[in-house]
Each structure stands twice: as C-alpha cells, then as structure tokens.
C-alpha cells in the first residue's frame, strides 16, 4: 500500500455531516475522504457508490477563482453526495500535479496567450501529471470497489479501472463557462478529451 489511513472524525459541513478520513501517502502528503453518513446502506447498490475524486485546487476551491471550474465542481459534487450518499476523495495534486508555484507560473504563460496544456508543456511538464492510484487505494480501503463516478475526465475512469476500481456509470459534472474560464474549459475538451455533456 502506498497510503495509510491515519485518523477519522465526524465533520459537519453546509452540505451535512460527513465522516472525514485522513490518509497519508509515502511522500507524507495528507489526502482526505469525506464519506456521507449512512453510506453503508449504499454499498450493495448494483451500480455501486457515488464518488467524486477531486484534485486540490487552492485558487478555485478556496479563493473561488474564475479561471477554472474546480471550486464549482467541488460544491456541486458535495451537494450530490450529500443527497445520495457517497464519497468525495480530495487528493493533494495541485495544478494537475505540478504544484502551486508551477500552476501560478502556468497562469502567467496563459496570460500571454497559451492555453493550459501549452503552458504546462512550456514549463517542462506533461499536460496532466496526475495519477489516481492513491484514490483507488483509498476507495478499496473504504470497501468501495464498484462506483458511479462524478467526472468529465475519461482518463480518471481509465486510471481507476486500471487500479482495480469498477466504474459502472459516469455522472457528468457540467459547470456553465464564464468569460475568465471559457478557453480553459475548451482546452480541456479539445486537448485532454474531457466530456461536456
């Protein structure tokens, strides 16, 4: 195992009460799984458990940046999981895995006309450096090996299935574009193959 469960606690939120599980990876980063209270009744569901695997985005999730749709996706996913029961996994993979400083450097390049993919590559990274092995291990630890995944990202589905998680259904997570993130969303569709249905 590349990750270990370290602690858990009830977490009251605006979306209801979740059980928060903190996991530690080998690089000493901490990742969180929020499990909606009463999830155990959903484990036998034919389609599995409703799941969102969300990568950290400080600018979008905390500061509500309009350059991306991450914060809005997080809110929408938490609302759905609160209603249906399920799991939200929050992975420490800032900036598609390049880290906060490099993400800000990529923003500067985007301000000069590059899209998100071009900016990451100019900095010497792949378009998307993320890996979902840790998410698969967290899901397995929570006995959620059969899931309905809230995502627009086909690679996320492929990775989770490669690591032994069965994705029975994809639940779209569509956010209305704004003037600041329109080109960002278009690059995700055109260059990373994200769905927008």
Residue among 86, 85, 62 at smallest CA distance from 75: 62
Q: Which of 52, 96, 130, 146 is catalytic?
A: 130
Q: How many CB atoms lie within 10 A of CB 180?
A: 11
Q: Which of 61, 115, 128, 159 is catalytic?
A: 128
Active-site annotation holds for 115: no
Q: List phi, psi (to 5°) of 68.
A: -135, 180
Q: Is 44 helix (H, G, I), strand (E, B) or coil?
A: coil
The position carrying tokens 């996706």 is 73
Whether residue 8 contacts residue 21, with contact meaning beta carbons closer than 8 Å, is answered with yes
16-25: strand order across its sheet:
3-13, 16-25, 30-36, 87-91, 49-55, 146-150, 166-171
What does each C-alpha distance from 63 to 57, 67, 109, 150 come to in angstroms?
A: 9, 11, 20, 23
Active-site annotation holds for 10: no
Which residues are designated catalytic? 128, 130
């Amino acid at each position: 195992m590349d990750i270990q469960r370290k602690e858990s606690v009830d977490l009251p939120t605006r979306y209801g009460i979740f059980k928060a599980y903190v996991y530690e990876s080998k690089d000493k980063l901490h990742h969180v799984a929020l499990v909606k209270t009463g999830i155990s009744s959903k484990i036998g569901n034919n389609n599995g458990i409703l799941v969102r695997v969300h990568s950290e985005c400080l600018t979008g999730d905390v500061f509500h940046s309009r350059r991306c749709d991450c914060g809005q996706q997080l809110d929408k996913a938490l609302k759905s999981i609160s209603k249906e029961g399920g799991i939200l996994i929050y992975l420490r993979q800032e900036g598609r895995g390049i880290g906060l400083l490099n993400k800000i450097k990529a923003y500067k390049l985007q301000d000069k006309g590059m899209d998100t993919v071009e900016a990451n590559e100019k900095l010497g990274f792949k378009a998307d450096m993320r890996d979902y092995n840790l998410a698969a291990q967290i899901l397995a630890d929570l006995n959620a090996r059969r899931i309905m995944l809230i995502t627009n990202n086909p690679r996320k589905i492929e990775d989770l299935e490669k690591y032994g998680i069965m994705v029975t259904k994809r639940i779209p997570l569509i956010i209305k574009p704004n003037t600041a993130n329109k080109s960002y969303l278009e690059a995700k569709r055109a260059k990373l193959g994200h769905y927008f249905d």
